[in-house]
Chains A and B, each alone.
Chain A
């Protein structure tokens, strides 16, 4: 059994207040034990199958394929229970929290998908749940706020800064520093101090494992490209992880281009480059000023509206194993509409970024796109912007 990675090249690490250091060591030990325990996996696997509906299908998107002139396969994480890939991680971590005897769970959320997933797992296992959410995101994602409340979670509004995911995450970490003895913090992406980036990746990698096996079986080959949106980057890393050793498979992470990279109003730290920095406990690609102040991100998609990205993504970028690109709000909106019209699938605005990137390419032959979530939560925002009444 290998150790849990703390560093990915020069990225990652554990930049947190001393109060949390023993808790992170305890978490790492508990995760190592759970990871090697057949009973933990048996329970998780059974719930993922019977409760969540895994494995999720691979769907060959015929009309989209015709549009772009090559075969496009969609990994249908949108069909999983709660409507996104987030439950893979939330359920795995909530089971871990119960093993550790924690009585209270906290989480941060942007679009609300991770908050809903965590609230769902907590309802299932009967654990108290508090979800931190920026008030701007609560406005944009009201339906998910109501879902969390119905599931019995308390949604704690965060009114600082831009009132989005960055502030919600900071507030969740402050709560954890204060209540660390009773509380388990379920981070929703491949970000944060070690062991979170590696643990969340491992819990999400069944996206890639399932997809790789099924594409091989049905097409007799591996995909030419694996494409996924990147905010923190958990669906992308979950998909990429299974293909890292397949040199012929190109890995493409699509970030939020917002109003356009040149405007500075985006959420694309990996694409833009610039000096690395520390945000929320890990060294990675971040958006910052010359003095090291973290910049506000901007994206139409609340889930991609984050000025950092997982440390392993920064490493995959630097080593050239994955490439990162950005699409604008407008491109994502058009893709949201196109996929709805061509395939009868309404994607999450996050996932629409990956679809938009595929729509914009003229090359390639077999693209696998991680459709990380469904778009019901985005209807009000997207329809308003598209002018559909």
Chain B
């Protein structure tokens, strides 16, 4: 099964109103614990995992995820360490890697994609590679069966949204707010989810700003096929003495919010 098929199966097979995709920062607080956090997420009902490879200058991330990346790098986490975490988790759930373009370019596009696919990763999200710059990366991902997942934002005009939607692999990462990652309240999801769903054949996953079961349920109500929760979980991992248990508990609450 290719990564693209693996992701499609996870969305189709989710036993909730929307697939649940927790984000965790690879190597935070250390590689072994981040793997345990991933396992705890799956145990608590995650359908897919988004796994961050830390980057020194993450322009799309808010303070919580940026700080976790900085801490992971300070602790010596390398790209190889995170690929090893991916390899450990991939047999249990599709792992979608999230990192910035310079991390990909540093090893070379083809080599990075091949290593990610060899580690069992199902997809790749690179938020600073818009459609215009994606050509070589999309080609390499397609050849390796790795889903290159694009992002769309509330600021994306309809025509552009259709172009991006047509090239989406795996799912369309739909950014719920104009801004960076981080917890928020009072956002209307229906408009952006409706626009995204109309523009693509692949599932629509909503992320950025979703932090609790009520918001996850509202995302499902709005028609999202998937819900991505990041900063809330990374904050939990940062603040707890037992990060895996704490993150698992919140993922369980989110999963409950998506049932029924």
B-contacting residues of A (Cβ < 8 Å)? 13-23, 160-161, 166, 170, 173-174, 177-178, 180-181, 275-281, 286, 288-294
Q: Which residues of A contact B103 (CB under 8 A)?
A: 291-293
Nearest CB on A from B109, distance (A): 12
Pick from A14, A173, A292: contact of B55, CB under 8 Å: A292
Inter-subunit contact A17/B57 (CB<8 Å): no
Known contacts A14-B132, A18-B153, A292-B107; is-contact A278 B102 (Cβ 8 Å): yes
Asked whether any CB of chain A lies closer than 8 Å to the CB of B79, the reply is yes
Known contacts A21-B160, A22-B160, A288-B102; is-contact A15 B57 (Cβ 8 Å): no
- Enumerate B104-158 residues with CB–CB distance to A below 8 Å: 104-107, 127-133, 150-157
Nearest CB on A from B69, distance (A): 10
Nearest CB on B from A166, distance (A): 7
Inter-subunit contact A293/B178 (CB<8 Å): no
The distance in angstroms between the C-alpha atoms of A49 and B141, with both chains bound, is 54
Q: Which residues of B contact A279 (CB under 8 A)?
A: 57, 102
A-contacting residues of B (Cβ < 8 Å)? 55-57, 59-60, 62, 66, 70, 73, 78-79, 100-107, 127-133, 150-157, 160, 164, 175, 178-180
Q: Which residues of B contact A294 (CB under 8 A)?
A: 56-57, 102
Known contacts A177-B60, A178-B179; is-contact A17 B151 (Cβ 8 Å): yes
Inter-subunit contact B153/A292 (CB<8 Å): no
Query: A291 — nearest CB in chain B belongs to which residue?
Result: B79
The distance in angstroms between the C-alpha atoms of A191 and B70, with both chains bound, is 24
Inter-subunit contact A17/B102 (CB<8 Å): no
Closest 9 CB pairs of A and B: A292-B106, A178-B179, A19-B153, A293-B56, A292-B102, A292-B103, A17-B60, A294-B56, A15-B128
Known contacts A17-B127, A170-B57, A281-B128; is-contact A160 B105 (Cβ 8 Å): no
Query: A292 — nearest CB in chain B belongs to which residue?
Result: B106
Inter-subunit contact B78/A291 (CB<8 Å): yes
The distance in angstroms between the C-alpha atoms of A65 and B103, with both chains bound, is 47
Q: Which residues of B contact A292 (CB under 8 A)?
A: 55, 79, 102-107
The distance in angstroms between the C-alpha atoms of A14 and B57, with both chains bound, is 16
Nearest CB on A from B148, distance (A): 13
Query: A275 — nearest CB in chain B belongs to which residue?
Result: B106
Inter-subunit contact B175/A18 (CB<8 Å): yes
Inter-subunit contact B56/A19 (CB<8 Å): no
Query: A277 — nearest CB in chain B belongs to which residue?
Result: B102
Q: 6 additional contacts, CB 8 Å, given A15-B101, A15-B128?
A: A17-B151, A160-B66, A177-B60, A177-B180, A290-B106, A294-B57
The distance in angstroms between the C-alpha atoms of A276 and B151, with both chains bound, is 25
Nearest CB on B from A180, distance (A): 6
Nearest CB on B from A103, distance (A): 16
Q: Which residues of A contact B160 (CB under 8 A)?
A: 21-22
Number of A-B contacts (CB under 8 A): 115
Could you give 28 example pairs across A and B, Cβ below 8 Å? A13-B132, A14-B130, A14-B132, A15-B130, A17-B153, A18-B127, A18-B150, A18-B155, A18-B164, A19-B154, A19-B179, A20-B155, A22-B155, A22-B157, A160-B66, A166-B57, A277-B102, A277-B105, A278-B102, A278-B105, A280-B59, A288-B106, A289-B106, A291-B78, A292-B55, A292-B103, A293-B56, A294-B57
Q: Which of A16, A23, A278 has the most CB of B within 10 A?
A: A278
Q: Which residues of B contact A15 (CB under 8 A)?
A: 101, 128-130, 133
Q: Which residues of B contact A17 (CB under 8 A)?
A: 59-60, 127-128, 130, 151, 153, 180
Inter-subunit contact A180/B73 (CB<8 Å): no
The distance in angstroms between the C-alpha atoms of A180 and B104, with both chains bound, is 27
Nearest CB on B from A212, distance (A): 35
Inter-subunit contact B59/A177 (CB<8 Å): yes
Q: Which residues of A contact B130 (CB under 8 A)?
A: 14-18, 21
Inter-subunit contact B59/A174 (CB<8 Å): yes
The distance in angstroms between the C-alpha atoms of A321 and B39, with both chains bound, is 55
Q: Which residues of A contact B57 (CB under 8 A)?
A: 166, 170, 279-280, 294
Q: Which residues of A contact B79 (CB under 8 A)?
A: 291-292
Q: Which residues of A contact B105 (CB under 8 A)?
A: 275-278, 292
Q: Which residues of A contact B128 (CB under 8 A)?
A: 15-17, 278, 281
Nearest CB on A from B21, distance (A): 18
Q: Which of B55, B104, B155, B156 has the most CB of A within 10 A?
A: B155
Nearest CB on B from A76, distance (A): 36
Q: Which residues of A contact B153 (CB under 8 A)?
A: 17-19
Q: Which residues of A contact B102 (CB under 8 A)?
A: 277-279, 286, 288, 292, 294
Inter-subunit contact B155/A19 (CB<8 Å): yes
Q: Which residues of B contact A181 (CB under 8 A)?
A: 155, 178
Inter-subunit contact A173/B59 (CB<8 Å): yes
Q: Which residues of A contact B133 (CB under 8 A)?
A: 13-15
Query: B151 — nearest CB in chain A belongs to which residue?
Result: A18
Nearest CB on B from A25, distance (A): 9
Nearest CB on A from B187, distance (A): 13
Query: A293 — nearest CB in chain B belongs to which residue?
Result: B56
Nearest CB on B from A187, distance (A): 14
Inter-subunit contact A160/B179 (CB<8 Å): no
Known contacts A13-B133, A281-B128, A292-B107; is-contact A18 B180 (Cβ 8 Å): no
Q: Which residues of B contact A178 (CB under 8 A)?
A: 178-180
